[in-house]
Amino acid sequence: MKKQFVLITGANDGIGLATAKAMLDRGFAVIIHARNEDKAKTGVQRLEKGNAGAELIPVWGDLAHMDQVLRLAEQVKQVLPIGNGLDVLINNAGVYEDKRTLTADGFETNMGIKHFSHALLTLKLHETLMVASAPRVLMVSSGVHIGAHLDFEDLELNKGWSPSGAYAASKLANSLFAAGLAQNKDWDGIWTCSLHPGVIRTKMGIRVFGVGGEPLAEGAKTSVYCATATGLESQNGGFFAHSRPAQGSPLIYNKQKVVEFWDLTLHRLKNYTANSSLE
C-alpha cells in the first residue's frame, strides 16, 4: 500500500503543527510548510521528538509573494516519491493584521495570503492531487465567515477596512473557494470542504476572538476528521465544525455567486496561472 501524503500550510506551530502531529499519528507522511526554510525545519524537529521514524518533509515559501507560492508548488511535486500523488492538502496558514497592508503582489494582506495564495497553490497542485486515489482539499476557514461582508467588486477591501472585517472576509473567500472547487468539473474526483477549527488557544485566536479558547489539539480535530473520515461524499464543498457538517454562509450555497467568485479568483490569478489548463 502506498504511503499517504498530506501537505499542511503554516504547520510549524499553532493549529498547523497540532494537525501535523495528529496526521502523523494516523500514519500519514507529512509535508510541513512554513514561511522560510528555518521555520519549516524547526517544525519538523518539533515533530520528530517522540515520533522516531516518522516521514516528515519540510517545504517553504512566503505566501505574501506569489513567486514563492509557485516555487512551493514545485517543491511539493519534487519531494513526493515517483508515482505518488498528494492525498490531502490542508490550506491552514493564516494571518491577522492590525492595519491594512498589501502583499508584494498588491493584494490586501488578509485576502492575499489566506485566499489568493492558497487558491494559486491549490490550482498548481491539481495534477498532483489527481494522481492520488481519493484526494481531498481542506480550506481552514472560520465560523466568523458566516457573518462576513465580501464585496466582489472590492476584493482589495478598500472600503471600510477593519482588522476583524478583513479577517472574516478572507475566511468567507476560503469557504467560497471550497464550494467553487466542488462545482468545477475539472475538479471531479477531488473532495473539498471548508471548516471551522474552533476557538483555540493560539496567539492569533486570542487576537481574533479575544479569549483563550480550547487547547491546540482541539483545533486539529475537525481538519483531521475532514481529511480522513469516510462517507462524506455528499458533503463535497460544504462547511464543517466540531467534526461534523455545519451550516455555512448562505453565499456558499448560492451556485451563481460561487461561480462568480471562482471566475473572479481565476481572473485575479491569471498572471500566475499562465500555461495552465485551469486558467
Check if 96 is active-site: no
CATH fit for domain 5-268, picks 3.30.160.40, 3.40.630.30, 3.40.50.720, 3.30.1310.10: 3.40.50.720
Retrieve residue 93's grid coordinates. 496558514
Write the pLDDT tens digit of every residue in 186-240: 999 999 999 999 766 555 545 555 555 676 778 899 999 999 999 999 999 999 9
Has this prediction a pTM greater than 0.85?
Answer: yes
Domain extents in the chain = 5-268
Residues 105 and 236: their CA atoms lie apart, in Å, by: 31
* Residue spans of the chain under pLDDT 70: 199-213, 215, 275-279
- 88, 90, 175, 263 from 182: Cα distances, Å: 15, 15, 11, 14
Q: Active site residue: 167, 225, 253, 272, which one?
A: 167
